[in-house]
Structure 1
């Protein structure tokens, strides 16, 4: 296994098992849980489970403990296009590996099975349903070694395939950079499942600097661009990015979908904790 990948797995496993993360992986309430007992609140537990009436009588915070009746079905969808092979601090693709691995380790920690996919112009099974740490490592290795060059995302095809292939209610994590989202529509999938969207970006691609004469190659299509990257070109480009993101954010908000944007120079685990809390 690649040394860089080993470091990612060690880091994500440590954080998933030592940090208070994943306790609120689903926003669904009151489904599939039986009351077990009352106990004194401990730091890091979900304050939503505090029984305020009992706490007032006991003069200390008391929480309700529940037994889980059924497992959560977790689907990790890694949207790997050529555009993820970019990053000024680290590749967006590496951030996707880190986030997918963390989610996998959270699942093993909680005893919930997860299935992972690689998606671009089609939907490809990455690892089968499992709770084992081995499958987290396998998923990470498959994503890390996947050749994203000359790949584009066909959102309509991918989302249609997800809707048809996932039969049981699941929590679906979509991880990608979400550019060119004209045919990105989650309404149908969201009616059947719970969705969390993790948007991976590099700050330079949102606010590039004037570089003068450039010769660039699009990693998604291998098309070459030769011209001048001046202030006028950058202004038009930034306008298009903002329009894309405005449409994306509005759609996610209208669907009631949790989401966050994570930059390559940020700690992705902290942003993940934020969206899962």
Structure 2
């Protein structure tokens, strides 16, 4: 365990037991918050319960059933590839680690079940439902320590796999930079989904660099370019169009989100969710 991870871990744990104390995760639920169980239609089921969005996507009828919520299931899914590297470092990876740690400690402190799923290009790391601090901390350590530079994750395939793996309706946090479109509609039919958008501030508001050599952190490809005023304008237009599309998708499927920049205090943004 590296000293940098240990320091991050201790900070997150202290913040949960001080700043987050009293902010119950269950406050994130919607009205009454009876989780919906999603299952295939069976003869005799009330056709009014058919979920037509899921039915259309999967090609066979599914229904939603409500049941009383007893124990909260919290799932933290981290989608990570070379895109966590920006500029000279991997600040997004560190922020993802911090957010996952905060959510894990808060779940354990609330005596609820925590599950973690980490997706990279080459592997899926999964922590089964647990209340054990050791498992939660080990999951965070995996996020912090993995080398993902020059790798590219199949984002939609990871989301589809996540849908298949999580059967119990859950409070699902998805950590990613969301700089490309992704379809979370199926997940939102089964779970309460909260997208945690983690970005470098310069990804949102880049400055003019002049003539520079750039390297794609996913493919490793290097190229010479001139990043001036015109390039900044084009980049901002593409980024804003992407964000508008994503926010429209979130709104359509009642997906809440928060955006955390790597130079911000993650715990303050999470507290705004818990209120």
TM > 0.5: yes
**2:179 pairs with 1:179:** yes
Q: Determine which structure has more spread, i.e. the larger CA radius of gyration.
A: 1
Displacement of 1:218 in angstroms is 0.9
More deviation in 156-165 or 16-25? 16-25
Counterpart residue number, 1:230: 228
Structure 1 residues 170 and 274: CA distance shift in structure 2, 3 A: same
8 A Cα contact 1:197 1:259, kept in partner = yes
TM-score by structure 2 length?
0.81
Q: Distance in 2 between matches of 1:267 and 1:107?
A: 19
Q: Distance in 1 between matches of 2:208 and 2:10?
A: 38
**2:210 pairs with 1:212:** yes
More deviation in 233-242 or 83-92? 83-92
Q: Distance in 2 between matches of 1:142 and 1:77?
A: 12
Q: Distance in 2 between matches of 1:276 and 1:89?
A: 30
Structure 1 residues 176 and 69: CA distance shift in structure 2, 3 A: closer
**2:32 pairs with 1:30:** yes
User: Over aligned residues, Cα RMSD in angstroms?
Assistant: 2.0
Counterpart residue number, 2:84: 84
8 A Cα contact 1:122 1:158, kept in partner = no
**2:113 pairs with 1:113:** yes
Aligned pairs for 1:1-277 (under 5 A) are: 1-20=1-20, 22-25=23-26, 26-30=28-32, 70-86=70-86, 91-121=91-121, 124-181=124-181, 184-277=182-275
Matched residue count: 240
Could you give the per-residue CA deviations for residues 192-250 of structure 1, whole angstroms, max 9, x where no partner exists? 11101100111112211111111111111112121111111111011111111111111
SS at match of 2:224: strand
Structure 2 unaligned segments of length 5 or more: list them.
Answer: 35-67
Structure 1 residues 232 and 69: CA distance shift in structure 2, 3 A: closer
SS at match of 1:241: helix
8 A Cα contact 1:190 1:255, kept in partner = yes
Q: Distance in 1 between matches of 2:157 and 2:244?
A: 23
Displacement of 1:125 in angstroms is 2.6
SS at match of 1:199: strand
SS at match of 1:142: helix
More deviation in 92-101 or 256-265? 256-265
Q: Distance in 2 between matches of 1:69 and 1:176?
A: 28
Q: Distance in 1 between matches of 2:122 and 2:147?
A: 14
Q: Distance in 2 between matches of 1:123 and 1:256?
A: 30
Structure 1 residues 103 and 149: CA distance shift in structure 2, 3 A: same
More deviation in 232-241 or 20-29? 20-29
Q: Distance in 1 between matches of 2:248 and 2:31?
A: 25
Q: Distance in 2 between matches of 1:72 and 1:125?
A: 22
Q: Distance in 2 between matches of 1:157 and 1:89?
A: 27
8 A Cα contact 2:76 2:100, kept in partner = yes
8 A Cα contact 2:16 2:106, kept in partner = yes
